[in-house]
Amino acid sequence: MLELILAIIAAPPVILSTGFAVEVLAGLRPLAIPPAASNGAWASAVIVIPAHEEEASIAATIAELGAEAAGLAQLLVVADNCSDGTAEIAAAGGARTIVRTNPTFRGKGYALAFARDELARMPPDVVLVVDADCRIDRQGLTALIDAAATRACPAQAVNLLRPDLTAAPFVQVSNFAFMLRNLIRQRGLQRLAGRVHLTGTGMALPWKLFEQADLGGASIVEDLNLGVSLAEQGHAAVLIEQATVWSSAASAQDTLQQRARWEGGFLTNALPAGLRGLWRNVVQFDGRGLAAAIDLCIPPLAVLGLVDGVALILLGLAGAAGAGSGAFFAVLSASVAAGIAILLAWLREGRAFASGSALVRIPIYVARKLPIYVRLLVRGAPRDWVRTDRIQ
């Protein structure tokens, strides 16, 4: 009975850390870039820009994105529940602008659904979503339009935060973790499961999928839910590595708030979907589906470290009391494998995002986030769509 209890304690961290390590190792090499079928020239496209209180930055976004999209796609700004001049500034910049006001139903998913109703009058071939604080170049837009139009599936750009080695160590580690999730692990997931997650910005969908999609309403992770839902319907998203969407990092305090929203939403939505997928794909002997389900169960980096640490403490105490040490060494081996994978990812892609001195502070990064997880346990995941101030 004691051995069974120890095995139950060890199983989650072993599966999660091993799955994480395998996915990271599978994503160290870039994906092969397929030749462009049409350069997006024949497909009509609209870039939807959901904007909430973006008065300070929307003019620059319209100017820069409009220049990159000239001849490729039109811009549609959704000024959602704004109390500032977002709508007026966007319209003055030449973007087609619609205004949504509904304080009861707030969230990016509602803004996208509002845009869908507007586009339904004359639907394009492809709908792209780019957040109001993001930038993407013409090559990336062309690749996304081409992929969505010719493959008839969702296409996702690499979603990254601009590296800044002068930022606070906490911000650097967060930027590195963001890259690990949205580049390295997305590559690995593409190779192992034949699909990737939608990240909410820098994504393109054929109109036939966009018009029927569940856009998530008030969900803080409407993008994650959308990608999982479409994959389960046979429309798995693909990673378009030649397209990168960039946004600026937040300050240290805003980074904490931002991670609380992302990670709270991820944990409350991804974990249940992952657990359902584990059982279903084991029964069906579906290796790719199983890889996708394990990915959904892998928590954010800080949580994974906490899970491993707690398991090692419990199993170590049990070993000191005379229990077997097999479970302890199984968790230790998986944890070391995950640590090696993180180090290799940093050596391969991460040195631009976090300095070595910042990287060694990951344990402090984990400790600083403990209050976040306590609040998540007590209050649940945040639901409000809150604009994050960015470091300019």
pLDDT at 161: 94
| pLDDT tens string 174-194 | 899 999 999 999 999 999 999
What is the percentage of the chain residues whose pLDDT exceeds 90? 64
Checking if the pLDDT of 340 tops 50, the result is: yes
- Mean pLDDT score, 99-105: 92
pLDDT category at 348 given cuts 50, 70, 90 is: very high
pLDDT at 249: 78
Q: Name which of 115-119, 276-280, 313-317 the model is least confident about.
A: 276-280
pLDDT higher at 363 or 270: 363
- Residue among 76, 82, 45 at smallest CA distance from 62: 76
Angle between helices 287-297 and 2-26 (to 10 degrees): 100
> At CB < 8 A and 24+ separation, what contacts does 80-85 make?
80/50, 80/51, 80/52, 80/106, 80/108, 80/110, 80/111, 80/114, 80/385, 81/52, 81/106, 82/51, 82/52, 82/53, 82/54, 82/55, 83/53, 84/53, 84/54, 84/55, 85/55
pLDDT at 228: 87
pLDDT at 362: 82
| pLDDT tens string 242-280 | 999 999 876 555 566 666 666 666 666 677 777 787 888
Q: How far is CA 270 from the centre of its chain?
A: 11
pTM of the predicted model, to two decimals?
A: 0.89
| pLDDT tens string 303-312 | 898 899 999 9
- Residue among 123, 179, 115, 151 at smallest CA distance from 350: 179
- Residue among 44, 231, 198 at smallest CA distance from 112: 198
| pLDDT tens string 118-173 | 999 999 999 999 999 999 999 999 999 999 999 999 999 999 999 999 988 888 99
Averaged confidence pLDDT in the chain: 88
Checking if the pLDDT of 70 tops 50, the result is: yes
| pLDDT tens string 23-69 | 999 999 999 876 655 555 578 999 999 999 999 999 999 999 999 99
- Residue among 166, 122, 150, 130 at smallest CA distance from 40: 150
- Mean pLDDT score, 96-123: 93
Checking if the pLDDT of 301 tops 60, the result is: yes
- Mean pLDDT score, 213-242: 84
Domains and CATH numbers, the chain: 2-28+270-379 (no CATH), 45-166+195-250 (3.90.550.10)
- Mean pLDDT score, 233-241: 95
pLDDT at 248: 85
37's tokens: 């079928």
Residue 322 identity (one-letter amino acid): G
Checking if the pLDDT of 94 tops 90, the result is: yes
- Mean pLDDT score, 78-85: 94
**Is 197 in a helix, a strand, or coil?**
coil
pLDDT at 392: 47
- Residue among 61, 58, 108 at smallest CA distance from 81: 108
What is the percentage of the chain residues whose pLDDT exceeds 70? 87
